[in-house]
Amino acid sequence: MVELKKEAKTTRKAYSVDGADWEMLKRLASLPPEERANFRGIAGDPLPESIPFFPKTKSEQIYKGQNNTWIVLGRDRPSGRASGYINNVQAGAIDIVAGRLGAFGRAYQPKPNENQKVWADPNFAFDAARIYISQTTDIDENFGLADGKVGNSKTKSGIAIKADGVRIIAREGIKLVTRVDGYNSQGGEIAEANGIDLIATNDDEDLQPLVKGENLRDCLDRIVTHLSKLNGICDSLLTYQSSLNEALAFHTHKAPMNVVFGKLSQQMEGWETWPSENVMFSGVKTMIDHLSQTKRSLMVQKANLGAFKVKYLKKPGEKYINSRYNNTT
């Protein structure tokens, strides 16, 4: 049965003035209805949107849109004005944010504290969508990422992309490539060859290596070949055993007899005995079973092995185990 994924629902309204500036709302309320209609966001019209206030530092250059969109040019600042490497040189950062504080974003506290401003530092947990670029940063720690096998990057350049859904789309191809240079951005020599970690749910407790498809295919192909040879060995054994069973089932003995010549008695070879009924019955039944069941099962198993190789280990196969498009080293 195919398990259907449950989509996360949102309770946010398409139009809301919660947390907006009361003075602005009063001004809008005083406008004639036909003019107020121009502030409902229809067809790109303005909206009285609640946008938190950003506590800017003197060294930051801010580009702010009307819909809680931001580009901040400054130094590494993952949260407050004393966080990260904001006091360091060579720590320039570009922070692109859409939806500061996400679903909790508002410009003012609701009643009874009317028009009390809400200030929002960068918040890598609650901000809705972000592209963060920094010359010097602790990128994994800032975003709360598991170490994995790649490790925890500290005091190095970093780029992070975070949103509810992230899609990287190429019209041709996508490459994820590591260790292209001998030195990192801080001038340190890269001694260890790191790879690529795919970590679901940010849990690296059971992180395991990826399988190389062609090697796995060759391994399984050899296993199937050895099983096929084992099938042949069993088939030969069955043939030899059937010959022995036939000989044993119908074998007879020469019955001895005594011949008397005067005072002399001599034992001589006499007539043949009848085969044992129990042995003959069991032998015939075993030979029939070998032919009707064991021999047939071996033939079916060998055919199944051939079908398995075609289905899973050959490119035209319906369930070929290797991806036809994606590769790894």
The pLDDT tens digits for 110-152 are 766 667 889 999 999 999 999 999 999 999 999 999 999 999 9
Nearest Cα residue to 72 out of 45, 46, 47, 54: 54
Share of the chain above pLDDT 70, in %: 78
pLDDT in tens, 92-111: 999 999 999 998 888 888 76
Which residue type does 244 have?
Answer: L
Does residue 175 share a domain with residue 26? yes
Q: Does 321 map to a domain?
A: no
Q: Please check whether residues 83 and 139 belong to one and the same domain.
A: yes
- 252-295 tens-digit pLDDT: 666 666 656 566 666 656 666 666 666 666 766 776 766 667 77
Assess if residue 40 is contained within a domain.
no
Domain limits at 256?
Answer: 213-312
170 shares a domain with 29: yes
Domains identified in the chain, total number = 2
Does some domain include residue 14? no
pTM, rounded to two decimals = 0.75
Do 117 and 28 belong together in one domain?
yes
* Residues 84 and 134 placed together within one structural domain of the fold: yes
User: Same structural domain for residues 195 and 283?
Assistant: no
152 & 268 share domain: no
Asked whether residue 121 falls in the same domain as residue 140, the answer is yes
Same domain, yes or no: 110 and 226: no
pLDDT of residue 279: 66
